[in-house]
Chain A
Amino acid sequence: SQQGEEDPQALSIQEGENATMNCSYKTSINNLQWYRQNSGRGLVHLILIRSNEREKHSGRLRVTLDTSKKSSSLLITASRAADTASYFCAGPQGGKLIFGQGTELSVKP
């Protein structure tokens, strides 16, 4: 009963390219969050977008939200090798914070 499903499951790009990850969710939400996880570490919050927002920026990150399609996307521009990590979307479901399965991003130098 995961709230979000990420696509693709894995993504491999060259340094300098843009990376786009998508998240589709099941139920109506009032916000959606994106997290990053480096290998073997805990998750770190990246950005939160609320249901009344269409787009939000934070540095090289751009997040969009389409509530009619129940989908969100995370764009990382001008990727760096240090961006290599897993990225997860998460949304509220019945008062709980539920995560998707994640996208594993590999940025090759």
Chain B
Amino acid sequence: IAGITQAPTSQILAAGRRMTLRCTQDMRHNAMYWYRQDLGLGLRLIHYSNTAGTTGKGEVPDGYSVSRANTDDFPLTLASAVPSQTSVYFCASSAETGLGTEAFFGQGTRLTVV
């Protein structure tokens, strides 16, 4: 079944540790996004990628990095996790970047930093 897959589904992480959240899509979409969702704050864009080989900063990029080595994968890395990064993280993809094409979402990664 075509779609977007995130891993892990949940994780408890010690503060200061490094963590990579994985995201893979098989729809050959050009654009991919990482959002975090916190209660009362909706979805906030962390980083995005218009196409393989390019990335850009979203609304809340500090403390996170991404790479887009190929079309399918868009990992999100927390270099040194802090408790304020406790959140639910969603990866999404769309055929084009915010230009009127539907975005497809993964099921999310629930991250707790202690």
Contact = CB atoms under 8 A, between A and B. Distances in A.
Contacts of B102: 33, 45, 48
B42 A2 contact: yes
Contact of A101 (B35, B40, B99, B104): B40
B105 A42 contact: yes
Contacts, number: 76
B107 interface: yes
A43 B88 CA distance: 12
A42 B108 contact: yes
A42 B90 contact: yes
Nearest to B91: A42
A68 to B, nearest CB: 20
A50 B45 contact: no
B35 to A, nearest CB: 7
Contacts of A43: 43, 90, 92, 103, 105
26 contacts: A1-B59, A2-B42, A2-B59, A31-B100, A35-B103, A41-B107, A42-B90, A42-B108, A43-B43, A43-B90, A44-B105, A50-B100, A88-B42, A88-B43, A90-B103, A92-B97, A95-B97, A96-B56, A96-B97, A96-B98, A97-B31, A97-B48, A97-B103, A99-B43, A99-B44, A100-B42
Interface of B: 31, 33, 35, 40-45, 48, 50, 56, 58-59, 90, 92, 94, 97-100, 102-108
Interface of A: 1-2, 30-31, 33, 35, 40-45, 48, 50, 88, 90-93, 95-102
